[in-house]
Structure 1
Amino acid sequence: MVATTDRLILRHFTDNDVAALYEMNRDPQILEYIPAAPFQQLSDAERVLQDVIYADYQQYGYGRWAVEFKASSQVIGFCGPKYLPEFGRVELGYRYFPQYWGMGIGYEAASAALPLFKERCGVDEAIALILPGNRASVALANKLGMQILSRGKFLGHEVDLFHIWL
């Protein structure tokens, strides 16, 4: 376990989370502002779990954290750090199933995660990359105290780079 809140547990992903990871990366509604192709099969999630998430845990000592809803013990999304070599910074990333949107889950999880960036990642700044038009993510970044720093490109898409000093 990485952190807990009243409603959530933030923890490392495990092999048991493959199905949830698959679902959150294939739903067009979730992926509207994500610059990646939807997963086509469960093996896509298995590959990302091994080659990205677990690889980040191994290489950096941190990576995306599963967000589990205490009331159901179900993984409802992810929140947490990812080192982005393209920017030389650690990103706060988050993604949730639509039935949990508008419930303050994003703010609750991110508020628990951000203070750990300094302790676990050894960084004094966190960034968020947000595609233009993603008003919900902009609102969350602003609520967390993040400010827009610049506009850039990521995976071939225009993104707004938000940041916060920790």
Structure 2
Amino acid sequence: MITETERLILRPFTQADVPALFMMNSIKEMLTYIPMEPLTEESQATELFNNVILTDYAKYGFGRWAVQHKQDNKVIGFCGPKFLPEFNKVELGYRYFPEYWRQGIGFEAAQATVNTFKTQFNIDLFIALILHGNVASEGVAKKLNMSIVEQSDYMGHKVHVYQRTL
């Protein structure tokens, strides 16, 4: 476990989480503001787990973490840091299943994650890349005291770049 809140456990993804990874990367509603095509086969989620998530854990000591809901013991999304070479900075990213939206979970997990940055991972500056129109994610960034520093392009899409120094 990386950290926890009253309702959530944030922990590294495991092989057992591949079905949840598949779902969070295949539900079109969850990908509205994500610059990627939906996954169509669970084997793609296995590749994502092996070639991206585990690689980040090994290379940087951190990466996207599973967010497990204590009440129902389900993985309900992810939250965590990811180093983005394109920006030479660590990005805070988060995504949740729609049935958990508008419950404050996004901010709760993000704040718990940020609280680990400096002490556990020596991260003192981080960004959030938010596609134009993603009001909910911008709300989380603002509640985390992040400020918009620029507009940029990422993976062919216009994004607002939010940033915060700890």
Any idea what SS the aligned residue of 1:29 has? helix
What are the equivalent positions in structure 2 for 1:45-60 lying under 5 Å apart?
45-60=45-60
Deviations 1:51-106 (A, max 9, x none): 00000000011100000000111000000000000000000000000000000000
Letter in 1 for 2:66: A
In 1, the alpha carbon distance for the partners of 2:98 and 2:70 equals 17
Any idea what SS the aligned residue of 1:127 has? strand
Structure 1 gap segments, 5+ residues each: none
In 2, the alpha carbon distance for the partners of 1:78 and 1:102 equals 16
In 1, the alpha carbon distance for the partners of 2:14 and 2:116 equals 20
Give the equivalent residue in structure 1 for 2:128: 128
| TM-score, length of structure 2 as denominator length | 0.98
The runs of 4+ residues in structure 1 deviating greater than 3 Å are: none
Letter in 1 for 2:68: E
In 2, the alpha carbon distance for the partners of 1:5 and 1:57 equals 22
Say whether the 8 Å CA contact 1:81–1:91 is kept in structure 2: yes
In 2, the alpha carbon distance for the partners of 1:131 and 1:116 equals 25
Aligned-residue identity in percent: 51
In 2, the alpha carbon distance for the partners of 1:156 and 1:149 equals 19
Give the equivalent residue in structure 1 for 2:82: 82
Query: What's the Cα RMSD here?
Result: 0.7
Deviation of 1:117 (Å): 1.4
In 2, the alpha carbon distance for the partners of 1:108 and 1:115 equals 11
Say whether the 8 Å CA contact 1:22–1:44 is kept in structure 2: yes
Give the equivalent residue in structure 2 for 1:114: 114
Letter in 2 for 1:154: Y
Any idea what SS the aligned residue of 2:28 has? coil
Give the equivalent residue in structure 2 for 1:137: 137
Give the equivalent residue in structure 1 for 2:31: 31
Say whether the 8 Å CA contact 1:77–1:97 is kept in structure 2: yes
Give the equivalent residue in structure 2 for 1:158: 158
Aligned length: 166
Letter in 2 for 1:50: N
| TM-score, length of structure 1 as denominator length | 0.98
Letter in 2 for 1:108: E
Say whether the 8 Å CA contact 1:61–1:120 is kept in structure 2: no
Deviation of 1:120 (Å): 3.1
In 1, the alpha carbon distance for the partners of 2:22 and 2:108 equals 23
